[in-house]
Structure 1
C-alpha cells in the first residue's frame, strides 16, 4: 500500500508539471494587450436658426413680382424722366445697413471739410454694435479723403465712424446733419442714428433711397470713390489692398455711375446704383435680398428685363405694408 501510494503521488506530481511550467512561462512573457478604441462623446450643439430680416418678419418676401426677385424691395427709376419702371414694396421702411454711408459721404462733402486733414481711428470707432472686424487698427491715421474712399468703396465701418466723429460738433452733430439732409431731400421715411449702418435703427424706403442716389450721383467725387474697384492704402509701414464690395463694377455689361452695397442680418443684402442701360440713366434700389449673391443676381435679372422691354409700362408688385 505504501508503495502504491508513493507511486500515485509521483504520477500526480508529474501530471501537474506541464501546467506549472506553462504558468511560469506565462509569467516571464509579456501578456499582449488588446487595443481599445477610444470613443469621444461630443456635446450636441443645437442649430442656431438664422436671424430673420425685418422684411421677412413683415411678410414682404411673400409678395410676387414678374422677375421672381430675391429682394423683398426693388425699385427702378428713370433718373431723367422720373418714370418708375419697376416697383416692389417701394414704401416699405427697412434697415438699410451700409447704404447709410452714402448719406455719411454726402454730409461730409457738403460740409466743405478738408479732404487732406489727418484723421486717426480711436477706440470710439470700434464697432460695439455687431463687433465687426476692421483692418483699420486703433491708431491708424489717414486723410479724410482716404477715409471717405474706404467708407464708400470697401464699406469700412471705422472709416465712416471716424468721419462722423471728426465733424464739427462731433458725432451727435453729424447724425443731426444726416437727418436734416434727409428731411431737406424729402426723405420722409428715413431716419439715422449713426454713420455706419451697423444699427438696424438706420432705416429708409426704396423711394427715399432713390432720392439719395439722385443727389449723390451728381457729385463727381462720390461717383469716382464709390465706383473705384480697388486701392492701395499705406497703413503704417504696410501697403494694404482694399477692394470694392460690388462685383458688378468689374462686369463689362454694366455702366455704373454710383453704387453702394450693404448688409446686416436685420437688413439682408442691399444694393443701390445709378447705371446707364437700354438708353436710359437709371436708379436702382434692391433691399432685403436673401442669399449670398442674390442682390447681384437680382440686378442682372433687372438688367436683362430692361434690355428686352424698353419703354414698357412699369412692372409693379403690391405691398403688404
Structure 2
C-alpha cells in the first residue's frame, strides 16, 4: 500500500533576513556577470571559482565547469584518502616505481622505509611526486587501486567531472579519460579537506624534519604554499604545475568569520608564476566586498498538520530540526524557505517517519535541507475502532 496518497504542493515562503552578523551592509549589489553595478573580477586563470566554505555555493565562477588538468592540486585528494584509510604511524616501503618518479622529488630510494606521516608532509609541503606514489602504493595496494579510491571519494563529494589517474597530478590519460577536474569540483574537494584537523595541521606547517626508519638519512622540507606567509587569513592551500596544466592553485581563506574557497586552473605558464597570487587577491577582495552573513530562520512549530485518512486520528502533527542558519549573501539576493510536505496520507503513519522536507534556497541552489517527520504514530482504523466510536456516540 502506498504511503502517500496525495503529494502536497511545494510552498515557497518569503523569508525575512533578520540580522547581519558582524558586518555592515555593503553598497554594491548585483549578480556576478549579470548586473552592471557589480563588476566581474579580472582574472588570469582559465577557470576559477570563489566558493562559500560553509555551503559549497559558488559565489563567483569563471568557466567553473570546464574540465582541465589539475597538476599537483591532485595531492589534496591524495592526502584525504591517506588520512581516512591509514594510520599516521604506519611504515611504508619504497618501491622502484615510486623511487623513479620525476621532479619534484624527495629522493627516496627503493627498499627504504618511512613513516607514513613523514611522507605526507613531504608530499604536501614540497609536492614530492615520489612520496605521493609511495603513499598511494601503500594505502591502495597500487597506483591504480589508489586512483579508484580517489575517484570513489570524488563521486561521494558530488564531483561528476573529476577523474584521477595519478596520485601526484602528473599529466596522464587512459582509456577512460584525462586526469582532470573542474574549478568547482576542485573547490569542493578542498572544502571537504579542511574539515579534517590533521589535514589542516599538515598543510599549515611551515617546516618539517624527518628521517627514514633506519635513521640513515634526514630530510627537511619547507612549505611552498607562499600564501601562508603572504596573508594572515590563509587557512590551507596547495600549488601545482605541469606543462599541460599550467599553474594551478586551490586554497581556503578566512575573513571575519567567513571562509572562502578559491580554485584556479590554468593560471598562466612560465614565467608567470605569480599570477595565481594576483587572482587569489582579486577573488578574496571580491568576496569580502560583496558577501556578508545574514541569519535565516523559520518557525517550525507552525508547520501545518497532515490530514490522515483511514486512521484513528484525522490529522498528524509534524516536527522539523530546521533551525537558525547563517548564509553568505550579496545585497541583491534573498533566501527562500521551500516546504515540500505531503498534505494528506493514509494510515498507518509512524513517529519519526518522513513526511517531506524544508529547504533554505538562494535562487535555484539548495543550501540547507532538513527532513520533516511525523510527531506521532497513527494506526489504521479497524472494526474495534468503529464499534467504540458507535458506542461512545449512542451510549
- TM (norm. structure 2) is 0.58
2: CA distance, partners of 1:82 / 1:172: 29
**Aligned to 2:40, what secondary structure does the other structure show?**
coil
- Residue number in structure 1 paired with 2:191: 214
Task: Point out where structure 1 has 5 or more consecutive residues left out of the alignment.
Answer: 1-64, 315-321
Candidates 38, 42, 48, aligned match of 1:74: 48
Q: Which has the higher relative contact order, 1 or 2, with Cα contacts under 8 A spaced 6 or more apart?
A: 1
**Structure 1 residues 77 and 196, CA gap change in structure 2 (3 angstroms):** same
Candidates 82, 85, 89, aligned match of 1:108: 82
- Residue number in structure 1 paired with 2:149: 177
- Residue number in structure 1 paired with 2:166: 194
What are the equivalent positions in structure 2 for 1:1-321 lying under 5 Å apart? 66-111=40-85, 113-127=86-100, 131-139=102-110, 140-200=112-172, 201-234=178-211, 236-251=215-230, 253-290=231-268, 291-311=272-292, 312=330
**Structure 1 residues 169 and 232, CA gap change in structure 2 (3 angstroms):** closer
**Aligned to 1:94, what secondary structure does the other structure show?**
coil
Indicate if the aligned counterparts of 2:71 and 2:170 stay in contact, CA closer than 8 A. yes
Bigger Cα displacement from structure 2, 189-198 vs 270-279: 270-279
- Give 1:166 shift: 0.9
Structure number, greater radius of gyration: 1
2: CA distance, partners of 1:81 / 1:231: 33
- Residue number in structure 2 paired with 1:6: none
Once superposed, what is the RMSD of the aligned Cα atoms?
2.1
Indicate if the aligned counterparts of 1:119 and 1:166 stay in contact, CA closer than 8 A. yes
2: CA distance, partners of 1:247 / 1:146: 21
Indicate if the aligned counterparts of 1:100 and 1:202 stay in contact, CA closer than 8 A. no
Task: Point out where structure 2 has 5 or more consecutive residues left out of the alignment.
Answer: 1-38, 173-177, 293-329, 333-395
- Deviation readout 1:113-151 (Å, 9 max, x if unpaired): 2221221323211456xx324232314432011111211
